[in-house]
Structure 1
Amino acid sequence: MWLTYKYILRGIVAILFATMLFSCQNGLNEARKFDGNRVEPLTIGEGVNLFYTDSGKVKANLRSPKMLDFTNQQFAYREFPDGVEVDFFNEKQEKTTIVADYGIVYNQTDLIDLRGNVKVVTSDTTILNAQQLYWDQARSWVFTDKKYNIQMNNGALNDGEGFDANENFDKFISRSNIGVQYLDESEQ
Protein backbone atom coordinates (compact mmCIF):
# COMPACT_ATOMS: atom_id res chain seq x y z
CA MET A 1 0.00 0.00 0.00
CA TRP A 2 2.84 2.32 0.81
CA LEU A 3 4.29 1.54 -2.63
CA THR A 4 1.03 2.45 -4.36
CA TYR A 5 0.86 5.88 -2.69
CA LYS A 6 4.49 6.43 -3.62
CA TYR A 7 3.75 5.77 -7.33
CA ILE A 8 0.60 7.90 -7.22
CA LEU A 9 2.51 10.75 -5.57
CA ARG A 10 5.30 10.48 -8.16
CA GLY A 11 2.70 10.52 -10.95
CA ILE A 12 1.07 13.64 -9.54
CA VAL A 13 4.45 15.39 -9.16
CA ALA A 14 5.41 14.39 -12.72
CA ILE A 15 2.11 15.73 -14.11
CA LEU A 16 2.49 19.02 -12.16
CA PHE A 17 6.10 19.37 -13.32
CA ALA A 18 5.13 18.74 -16.97
CA THR A 19 2.25 21.22 -16.70
CA MET A 20 4.52 23.87 -15.21
CA LEU A 21 7.20 23.22 -17.81
CA PHE A 22 4.81 23.67 -20.74
CA SER A 23 3.12 26.70 -19.21
CA CYS A 24 6.52 28.33 -18.58
CA GLN A 25 7.59 27.62 -22.15
CA ASN A 26 4.50 29.41 -23.43
CA GLY A 27 5.20 32.36 -21.15
CA LEU A 28 8.84 32.42 -22.23
CA ASN A 29 7.83 32.56 -25.89
CA GLU A 30 5.47 35.44 -25.12
CA ALA A 31 8.20 37.27 -23.24
CA ARG A 32 10.59 36.79 -26.17
CA LYS A 33 8.01 38.28 -28.56
CA PHE A 34 7.62 41.32 -26.32
CA ASP A 35 11.37 41.77 -25.99
CA GLY A 36 11.88 41.36 -29.76
CA ASN A 37 9.74 44.42 -30.54
CA ARG A 38 11.87 46.71 -28.42
CA VAL A 39 14.34 48.86 -30.34
CA GLU A 40 17.69 49.01 -28.56
CA PRO A 41 20.81 50.77 -29.81
CA LEU A 42 23.73 48.65 -30.92
CA THR A 43 26.10 51.00 -29.10
CA ILE A 44 25.89 54.18 -27.04
CA GLY A 45 28.67 56.73 -27.25
CA GLU A 46 29.21 59.50 -24.72
CA GLY A 47 31.45 62.52 -25.21
CA VAL A 48 31.72 61.77 -28.93
CA ASN A 49 34.42 63.58 -30.93
CA LEU A 50 34.72 62.05 -34.43
CA PHE A 51 37.01 63.16 -37.22
CA TYR A 52 36.46 62.28 -40.88
CA THR A 53 39.61 62.50 -42.97
CA ASP A 54 40.36 61.94 -46.62
CA SER A 55 43.91 61.72 -47.95
CA GLY A 56 45.27 63.06 -44.67
CA LYS A 57 43.01 66.14 -44.64
CA VAL A 58 40.27 66.67 -42.09
CA LYS A 59 36.92 66.92 -43.91
CA ALA A 60 34.61 67.00 -40.87
CA ASN A 61 34.68 67.01 -37.08
CA LEU A 62 31.52 65.91 -35.22
CA ARG A 63 31.03 66.50 -31.48
CA SER A 64 28.11 65.37 -29.36
CA PRO A 65 27.44 64.57 -25.70
CA LYS A 66 25.68 61.35 -26.73
CA MET A 67 25.27 59.17 -29.81
CA LEU A 68 22.92 56.20 -30.14
CA ASP A 69 23.88 53.79 -32.92
CA PHE A 70 20.89 51.93 -34.40
CA THR A 71 22.76 50.42 -37.34
CA ASN A 72 21.45 47.02 -36.16
CA GLN A 73 17.96 47.94 -37.41
CA GLN A 74 16.56 47.21 -40.87
CA PHE A 75 16.49 50.98 -41.58
CA ALA A 76 19.81 51.92 -39.98
CA TYR A 77 20.37 55.31 -38.33
CA ARG A 78 22.43 57.17 -35.74
CA GLU A 79 20.76 59.50 -33.29
CA PHE A 80 22.17 62.46 -31.34
CA PRO A 81 19.49 63.12 -28.70
CA ASP A 82 21.46 65.68 -26.65
CA GLY A 83 22.61 67.85 -29.54
CA VAL A 84 25.31 67.85 -32.16
CA GLU A 85 27.94 70.23 -33.52
CA VAL A 86 29.74 69.58 -36.80
CA ASP A 87 32.54 71.48 -38.52
CA PHE A 88 32.96 70.86 -42.26
CA PHE A 89 36.12 71.80 -44.14
CA ASN A 90 36.26 72.41 -47.90
CA GLU A 91 39.28 71.93 -50.18
CA LYS A 92 40.75 75.25 -48.96
CA GLN A 93 40.21 74.14 -45.34
CA GLU A 94 37.53 76.85 -44.87
CA LYS A 95 35.14 75.89 -42.08
CA THR A 96 31.34 75.69 -42.03
CA THR A 97 29.75 74.97 -38.63
CA ILE A 98 26.34 73.42 -37.94
CA VAL A 99 24.82 73.25 -34.44
CA ALA A 100 21.49 71.66 -33.44
CA ASP A 101 19.70 70.45 -30.29
CA TYR A 102 18.96 67.07 -31.92
CA GLY A 103 20.20 65.18 -34.95
CA ILE A 104 19.56 61.92 -36.73
CA VAL A 105 21.52 60.45 -39.65
CA TYR A 106 19.78 57.90 -41.90
CA ASN A 107 22.51 55.68 -43.39
CA GLN A 108 20.58 54.21 -46.33
CA THR A 109 19.25 57.52 -47.68
CA ASP A 110 22.19 59.83 -46.78
CA LEU A 111 19.63 62.17 -45.22
CA ILE A 112 20.36 64.12 -42.05
CA ASP A 113 17.53 65.61 -39.97
CA LEU A 114 18.54 68.41 -37.59
CA ARG A 115 16.01 69.85 -35.12
CA GLY A 116 15.80 72.55 -32.48
CA ASN A 117 17.80 75.79 -32.67
CA VAL A 118 19.60 74.78 -35.84
CA LYS A 119 22.34 77.25 -36.74
CA VAL A 120 24.57 77.12 -39.79
CA VAL A 121 27.53 79.48 -40.19
CA THR A 122 29.27 79.05 -43.54
CA SER A 123 32.87 79.88 -44.33
CA ASP A 124 31.72 82.98 -46.26
CA THR A 125 29.75 84.25 -43.17
CA THR A 126 26.26 83.27 -44.30
CA ILE A 127 24.21 82.60 -41.15
CA LEU A 128 21.07 80.45 -41.17
CA ASN A 129 18.78 79.86 -38.17
CA ALA A 130 15.91 77.36 -38.33
CA GLN A 131 13.93 75.00 -36.13
CA GLN A 132 14.45 72.09 -38.49
CA LEU A 133 16.80 71.48 -41.38
CA TYR A 134 17.25 68.50 -43.69
CA TRP A 135 20.53 67.87 -45.46
CA ASP A 136 20.60 65.50 -48.41
CA GLN A 137 24.28 64.51 -48.53
CA ALA A 138 23.99 62.61 -51.83
CA ARG A 139 22.60 65.66 -53.65
CA SER A 140 24.48 68.31 -51.60
CA TRP A 141 21.14 69.97 -50.92
CA VAL A 142 19.58 71.49 -47.75
CA PHE A 143 15.90 72.24 -47.21
CA THR A 144 13.15 72.83 -44.67
CA ASP A 145 9.41 73.41 -44.51
CA LYS A 146 9.71 75.26 -41.19
CA LYS A 147 10.34 78.93 -40.43
CA TYR A 148 13.86 80.19 -40.92
CA ASN A 149 15.93 83.35 -41.11
CA ILE A 150 19.09 83.79 -43.08
CA GLN A 151 21.66 86.52 -43.50
CA MET A 152 23.57 86.08 -46.74
CA ASN A 153 27.20 87.08 -47.08
CA ASN A 154 26.19 90.07 -49.25
CA GLY A 155 23.96 91.47 -46.48
CA ALA A 156 20.64 90.18 -47.84
CA LEU A 157 18.17 89.14 -45.11
CA ASN A 158 15.30 86.67 -45.36
CA ASP A 159 12.66 85.62 -42.87
CA GLY A 160 10.51 82.95 -44.37
CA GLU A 161 8.93 79.56 -44.26
CA GLY A 162 10.40 76.77 -46.32
CA PHE A 163 13.40 76.85 -48.64
CA ASP A 164 15.64 74.70 -50.82
CA ALA A 165 19.32 75.49 -51.34
CA ASN A 166 22.60 73.96 -52.35
CA GLU A 167 25.25 73.51 -49.66
CA ASN A 168 26.94 76.81 -50.54
CA PHE A 169 23.64 78.76 -50.38
CA ASP A 170 24.44 80.41 -53.73
CA LYS A 171 21.32 78.71 -55.16
CA PHE A 172 18.57 79.57 -52.68
CA ILE A 173 14.86 79.13 -53.39
CA SER A 174 12.49 80.42 -50.71
CA ARG A 175 8.83 79.40 -50.70
CA SER A 176 7.67 82.53 -48.89
CA ASN A 177 9.76 85.26 -47.36
CA ILE A 178 10.09 88.84 -46.22
CA GLY A 179 13.44 90.51 -46.39
CA VAL A 180 15.96 92.70 -48.08
CA GLN A 181 17.50 91.39 -51.30
CA TYR A 182 20.47 92.67 -53.28
CA LEU A 183 20.45 91.90 -56.99
CA ASP A 184 23.45 92.07 -59.25
CA GLU A 185 22.04 93.32 -62.56
CA SER A 186 25.28 92.59 -64.39
CA GLU A 187 24.55 88.84 -64.18
CA GLN A 188 21.31 89.15 -66.19
Structure 2
Amino acid sequence: MNYLGRGLGVMLLAVAFGACNEHKTKQLDEIKIYTGPVAIAENVETVYSDSARLKLIVKAPLQTEFQTGDREFNKGIEIDFFDPKGVETTHLTANYARYDKQAGIYFATGNVVVENFVEKQKLESEELKFNHIEKRIYTDKFVRITTQLDILTGTGLTAAQDFSSYKILKPEAVISR
Protein backbone atom coordinates (compact mmCIF):
# COMPACT_ATOMS: atom_id res chain seq x y z
CA MET A 1 0.00 0.00 0.00
CA ASN A 2 1.38 3.40 -0.84
CA TYR A 3 1.75 6.37 1.48
CA LEU A 4 -1.30 8.11 0.00
CA GLY A 5 -3.54 5.11 0.77
CA ARG A 6 -2.18 4.83 4.31
CA GLY A 7 -2.66 8.55 4.90
CA LEU A 8 -6.28 8.41 3.70
CA GLY A 9 -6.94 5.37 5.89
CA VAL A 10 -5.52 7.06 9.00
CA MET A 11 -7.50 10.22 8.23
CA LEU A 12 -10.77 8.26 7.83
CA LEU A 13 -10.16 6.47 11.15
CA ALA A 14 -9.52 9.80 12.91
CA VAL A 15 -12.73 11.30 11.49
CA ALA A 16 -14.75 8.22 12.47
CA PHE A 17 -13.24 8.15 15.98
CA GLY A 18 -13.90 11.88 16.41
CA ALA A 19 -17.51 11.43 15.35
CA CYS A 20 -17.99 8.65 17.92
CA ASN A 21 -16.50 10.77 20.70
CA GLU A 22 -18.69 13.71 19.71
CA HIS A 23 -21.76 11.45 19.86
CA LYS A 24 -20.75 10.10 23.31
CA THR A 25 -20.09 13.64 24.62
CA LYS A 26 -23.50 14.74 23.38
CA GLN A 27 -25.13 11.76 25.14
CA LEU A 28 -23.33 12.61 28.42
CA ASP A 29 -24.52 16.22 28.18
CA GLU A 30 -28.11 14.97 27.92
CA ILE A 31 -27.89 12.81 31.08
CA LYS A 32 -29.93 14.36 33.89
CA ILE A 33 -28.61 14.07 37.42
CA TYR A 34 -31.15 12.77 39.93
CA THR A 35 -31.80 15.29 42.71
CA GLY A 36 -34.82 13.69 44.32
CA PRO A 37 -35.02 11.94 47.68
CA VAL A 38 -32.73 9.04 48.51
CA ALA A 39 -34.78 7.96 51.53
CA ILE A 40 -38.26 8.53 52.89
CA ALA A 41 -39.09 7.45 56.43
CA GLU A 42 -42.22 7.58 58.58
CA ASN A 43 -42.45 8.18 62.33
CA VAL A 44 -38.81 9.19 62.69
CA GLU A 45 -37.10 9.83 66.00
CA THR A 46 -33.48 11.04 65.86
CA VAL A 47 -31.47 11.42 69.06
CA TYR A 48 -28.54 13.85 69.25
CA SER A 49 -25.99 13.55 72.03
CA ASP A 50 -22.57 14.90 72.88
CA SER A 51 -20.11 13.07 75.10
CA ALA A 52 -22.85 10.55 76.00
CA ARG A 53 -25.18 13.35 77.15
CA LEU A 54 -28.59 13.73 75.56
CA LYS A 55 -28.89 17.10 73.78
CA LEU A 56 -32.04 16.93 71.68
CA ILE A 57 -34.54 14.59 70.07
CA VAL A 58 -36.11 15.31 66.68
CA LYS A 59 -39.45 13.61 65.93
CA ALA A 60 -41.41 13.74 62.68
CA PRO A 61 -44.26 11.77 61.09
CA LEU A 62 -42.47 11.97 57.71
CA GLN A 63 -38.83 12.64 56.85
CA THR A 64 -37.42 12.90 53.34
CA GLU A 65 -33.63 12.77 53.00
CA PHE A 66 -31.65 13.94 49.98
CA GLN A 67 -28.22 12.97 48.64
CA THR A 68 -26.72 16.15 50.15
CA GLY A 69 -27.86 15.08 53.64
CA ASP A 70 -30.54 17.78 53.65
CA ARG A 71 -33.87 16.68 55.12
CA GLU A 72 -37.46 17.80 54.73
CA PHE A 73 -40.28 17.30 57.23
CA ASN A 74 -43.48 17.87 55.21
CA LYS A 75 -45.89 16.76 57.94
CA GLY A 76 -44.37 18.74 60.79
CA ILE A 77 -41.61 18.40 63.34
CA GLU A 78 -41.06 18.31 67.11
CA ILE A 79 -37.72 19.00 68.76
CA ASP A 80 -37.12 18.35 72.46
CA PHE A 81 -34.12 20.06 74.10
CA PHE A 82 -32.43 18.67 77.22
CA ASP A 83 -30.22 20.19 79.92
CA PRO A 84 -26.89 18.56 80.98
CA LYS A 85 -28.77 16.37 83.50
CA GLY A 86 -30.99 14.93 80.74
CA VAL A 87 -34.13 16.83 81.77
CA GLU A 88 -36.31 18.20 78.96
CA THR A 89 -36.28 21.99 79.18
CA THR A 90 -37.76 23.12 75.87
CA HIS A 91 -40.12 21.81 73.20
CA LEU A 92 -40.42 23.15 69.62
CA THR A 93 -43.19 22.27 67.14
CA ALA A 94 -43.91 23.41 63.58
CA ASN A 95 -46.16 22.41 60.68
CA TYR A 96 -43.21 22.11 58.26
CA ALA A 97 -39.43 22.07 58.52
CA ARG A 98 -36.34 21.42 56.51
CA TYR A 99 -32.74 20.85 57.55
CA ASP A 100 -29.75 22.23 55.65
CA LYS A 101 -26.92 19.88 56.56
CA GLN A 102 -24.08 22.04 55.25
CA ALA A 103 -25.23 25.07 57.28
CA GLY A 104 -26.45 23.01 60.26
CA ILE A 105 -29.74 24.91 60.29
CA TYR A 106 -33.35 23.79 60.73
CA PHE A 107 -35.93 26.08 59.07
CA ALA A 108 -39.35 25.73 60.73
CA THR A 109 -42.51 27.34 59.35
CA GLY A 110 -46.22 27.31 60.02
CA ASN A 111 -47.53 27.64 63.55
CA VAL A 112 -44.09 27.49 65.18
CA VAL A 113 -44.26 27.19 68.97
CA VAL A 114 -41.36 27.00 71.43
CA GLU A 115 -42.14 26.27 75.07
CA ASN A 116 -39.54 26.65 77.83
CA PHE A 117 -40.74 24.53 80.77
CA VAL A 118 -38.16 25.91 83.21
CA GLU A 119 -38.94 29.61 82.63
CA LYS A 120 -42.62 28.93 81.84
CA GLN A 121 -42.42 30.90 78.60
CA LYS A 122 -43.93 30.32 75.18
CA LEU A 123 -42.76 31.74 71.84
CA GLU A 124 -45.05 31.78 68.81
CA SER A 125 -44.10 32.74 65.24
CA GLU A 126 -44.73 31.71 61.65
CA GLU A 127 -41.05 31.06 61.01
CA LEU A 128 -37.96 30.19 63.07
CA LYS A 129 -34.47 29.08 62.25
CA PHE A 130 -32.58 26.82 64.63
CA ASN A 131 -28.80 26.63 64.25
CA HIS A 132 -27.78 23.57 66.23
CA ILE A 133 -24.06 24.32 65.72
CA GLU A 134 -24.32 27.81 67.27
CA LYS A 135 -27.10 26.61 69.62
CA ARG A 136 -29.44 29.49 68.89
CA ILE A 137 -32.84 30.20 67.36
CA TYR A 138 -33.72 33.31 65.41
CA THR A 139 -36.21 34.92 63.02
CA ASP A 140 -36.91 38.19 61.28
CA LYS A 141 -40.70 37.57 61.42
CA PHE A 142 -43.37 38.60 63.93
CA VAL A 143 -43.07 36.95 67.34
CA ARG A 144 -45.28 36.67 70.39
CA ILE A 145 -43.79 35.66 73.74
CA THR A 146 -46.02 34.74 76.64
CA THR A 147 -44.42 34.78 80.09
CA GLN A 148 -45.98 34.32 83.53
CA LEU A 149 -46.50 38.09 83.79
CA ASP A 150 -46.56 39.56 80.26
CA ILE A 151 -47.26 39.07 76.59
CA LEU A 152 -44.49 40.57 74.45
CA THR A 153 -44.78 41.14 70.70
CA GLY A 154 -42.38 42.36 68.06
CA THR A 155 -40.53 41.61 64.86
CA GLY A 156 -37.30 39.64 64.81
CA LEU A 157 -35.77 37.56 67.56
CA THR A 158 -32.54 35.94 68.57
CA ALA A 159 -32.47 33.44 71.45
CA ALA A 160 -30.56 30.61 73.08
CA GLN A 161 -31.60 27.19 71.72
CA ASP A 162 -33.37 26.33 74.97
CA PHE A 163 -35.14 29.73 74.97
CA SER A 164 -33.58 30.52 78.36
CA SER A 165 -32.57 33.97 77.09
CA TYR A 166 -33.86 35.99 74.16
CA LYS A 167 -33.96 39.40 72.56
CA ILE A 168 -36.80 40.81 70.44
CA LEU A 169 -35.09 42.91 67.76
CA LYS A 170 -37.98 45.35 67.17
CA PRO A 171 -40.28 45.26 70.22
CA GLU A 172 -43.84 46.45 69.61
CA ALA A 173 -45.95 45.84 72.70
CA VAL A 174 -45.88 44.61 76.28
CA ILE A 175 -49.24 43.54 77.67
CA SER A 176 -49.43 42.76 81.38
CA ARG A 177 -51.52 39.72 82.25
User: Would you call these one fold, judging by a TM-score over 0.5?
Assistant: yes
The corresponding residue for 1:108 is: 102
2:91 to 92, 97, 107: 97
TM-score, normalised by the number of residues in structure 2: 0.73
Is the Cα–Cα contact under 8 Å of residues 46 and 67 in structure 1 kept in the other structure? yes
Deviation digits for residues 152-185 of structure 1 (CA, Å, limit 9, x no counterpart) = 3x5232122222222334242331321147xxxx
The corresponding residue for 1:160 is: 154
Query: Unmatched 5+ residue regions in structure 1?
Result: 1-21, 182-188
The one-letter amino acid of 2:36's match is: E
2:37 to 22, 30, 41: 41
Aligned equivalents of 2:152, 2:121: Cα separation in 1 = 12
Higher relative contact order (CA 8 A, sep 6+): 2
Aligned equivalents of 1:94, 1:136: Cα separation in 2 = 21
* Offset of residue 55 of structure 1: 4.8
* Offset of residue 108 of structure 1: 1.3
Deviation digits for residues 131-163 of structure 1 (CA, Å, limit 9, x no counterpart) = 0001122222211111121113x5232122222
> Kindly, what percent of the aligned residue pairs are identical?
25
Choose between structure 1 and 2: higher helix proportion.
1
Is the Cα–Cα contact under 8 Å of residues 157 and 166 in structure 2 kept in the other structure? no
* Offset of residue 52 of structure 1: 2.6
The one-letter amino acid of 2:172's match is: N
1:59 to 41, 55, 73: 55
* Number of positions where the alignment pairs a residue of Structure 1 with one of Structure 2: 151
Is the Cα–Cα contact under 8 Å of residues 166 and 172 in structure 1 kept in the other structure? no
Choose between structure 1 and 2: higher strand proportion.
2
Aligned equivalents of 1:62, 1:138: Cα separation in 2 = 15
Aligned equivalents of 1:54, 1:140: Cα separation in 2 = 13
TM-score, normalised by the number of residues in structure 1: 0.69
Aligned equivalents of 1:119, 1:89: Cα separation in 2 = 17
Aligned equivalents of 1:59, 1:166: Cα separation in 2 = 14
* Offset of residue 32 of structure 1: 5.0
**DSSP 3-state at the match of 1:29:** helix
Do the aligned partners of residues 98 and 171 (structure 1) sit closer, same or farther apart at CA in structure 2, a change above 3 Å counting? closer
* Offset of residue 31 of structure 1: 9.6
Do the aligned partners of residues 30 and 57 (structure 1) sit closer, same or farther apart at CA in structure 2, a change above 3 Å counting? closer
